Amino acid sequence: MPVVREFKLPDLGEGLTGAEVVRWMVEVGDVIAVDQPVVEVETAKAVVEVPCPYGGVVTALFGAEGEEIAVGAPLVTVAVAGAAGSATGLSSGSDEPDAAVERPLVGYGVAEPAKGGRRARVGGALPVAVAAAPVAAAVPVAAVPVVVPVISPLVRRTAREHGIDLAALTGSGPDGLIMRADVERAVALADAPAAAAPTAVGGEVVPLRGLRRTIAEKLTRSHQEIPAATCWVDADATGLMALRAQLNRTAGPKVSVLALLARICTTALARFPELNSSVEPDGSGIRRHAGVNLGFAAQSDRGLVVPVVREAHLLGTEQLSVELARLTESARAGRLTPAELTGGTFTLNNYGVFGVDGSTPILNHPEAAMLGVGRIVAKPWVHEGELAVRQVTQLSFTFDHRVCDGGTAGGFLRYVADCVEQPGMLLRQL
């Protein structure tokens, strides 16, 4: 006799309270296996697939695409076999435990197009225990949309907010992939007739959801709780760029400027460990971290994210370069997991990629410090007593004034600048 089991949205970790339905991977009436992914959701951290711990016939889906589902709210119901069936809800004669007993959720992973098995439809040679019993009435939900070649959740959201049918667009990306520019063009065309007619001037309220809401809440908390101060210095990066060129002429992984800066940061934090810390939530003390989990700012279609290189102080320059490249690619593709976006102890912010020289960033709460690096550009510079054209960058350092005074912060920044100007100093730390 089938038993209808209700699967609720699990706690996805890191304090997340809900998730937005991106797409359903099953339909009402499908036969699913235990731990088969049933829905792709977008949290404030990443886009993930959620597996269902029950196997059997899907009887109801809760939530349409774009709808926010709270943690603990019903997600899907499944008619599973009773004592006569196996754990998958199909009669196989195995010694599997009774499917009516809840199995623990195996876990969830980053959404990948190749994941997930083929769905089986109810009908044909289904087990008698399932086919002979009436299935609970399904709760009406929106029909699962036609799959279109689009990866970015931001592209989907933009299209949804402007009423653009993605299935009607022809993508300009590889294999017809629909890009952000394709949706923006469609939005512009849709708005063109309305723009020609006289209308009242009005504004638009854009809801803070998902990653944008998380960023807003975190930055607000940082600004309210942390007495931050910033100091900065110009540095001659000619030697650093020459070292990078020399390293990349040899065999092995290519070394990025970001990797060299990351190496400098870990070395500087070993000399100034009070900056690799955070103030306890109740303000009772300062927690100094044993290792460096190095966060770095990365721009993606979902907005600004800060992937974290775990145990960065144990990695060499080439290893840092490989890991930074991997996390950057995952950020651009929207494949970062919650674990890869949390747990940082210090942040490196290379805003020079935007063509700017300086910044006074807000700290990545609850971290106590952040190094910012501006663009590296040719400028007149006094070198060995003579005016010369050198590769110059501006370094800025923002720190929590509760963990140290200006002398420590200035010492850290001066050491970083010295390493940028004389990268051979890093050899002293080997």
Q: Same domain for 220 and 182?
A: no
> 119 pLDDT band (50/70/90 cuts)?
very low
Query: Taking a C-beta distance cutoff of 8 angstroms, is the pair 44, 213 a contact?
Result: yes
Q: Same domain for 189 and 235?
A: no
pLDDT of 201 = 53
- Rounded-to-integer distance, Cα 272 and Cα 291, Å: 12
pLDDT of 43 = 75
Query: Is the pLDDT confidence value at 287 over 90?
Result: yes
Query: Higher-confidence residue: 369 or 22?
Result: 369
Q: Same domain for 74 and 223?
A: no
User: Which tens digit of pLDDT belongs to each residue from 401-423?
Assistant: 999 999 999 999 999 999 999 99
Average pLDDT over residues 101-106: 43
> 245 pLDDT band (50/70/90 cuts)?
very high
The token pair that represents 45 in the structure block: 């951290």
- Rounded-to-integer distance, Cα 65 and Cα 55, Å: 23
| Position 310 in a domain | yes
Query: Is the pLDDT confidence value at 174 over 90?
Result: no
* Domain encompassing residue 39: 3-131
> 15 pLDDT band (50/70/90 cuts)?
low
How do beta strands 308-309 and 294-296 pair? antiparallel
Range in 1-10, 90-99, 269-278, 341-350 the model is least confident about: 90-99
Indicate the average pLDDT of the chain.
80
Query: Taking a C-beta distance cutoff of 8 angstroms, is the pair 196, 342 a contact?
Result: no
Q: Same domain for 158 and 93?
A: no
Q: Same domain for 350 and 222?
A: yes
pLDDT of 428 = 64
pLDDT of 4 = 92
Sequence-separated (6 or more) residues with CB below 8 Å from residue 278: 286, 287, 289, 345, 366, 367, 368
> 110 pLDDT band (50/70/90 cuts)?
very low
Q: Same domain for 175 and 252?
A: no
Q: Which residues are catalytic?
A: 401, 405
pTM for the full predicted model: 0.59
Domain containing residue 216: CATH number? 3.30.559.10
pLDDT of 289 = 97
Q: Same domain for 190 and 331?
A: no
pLDDT of 81 = 80
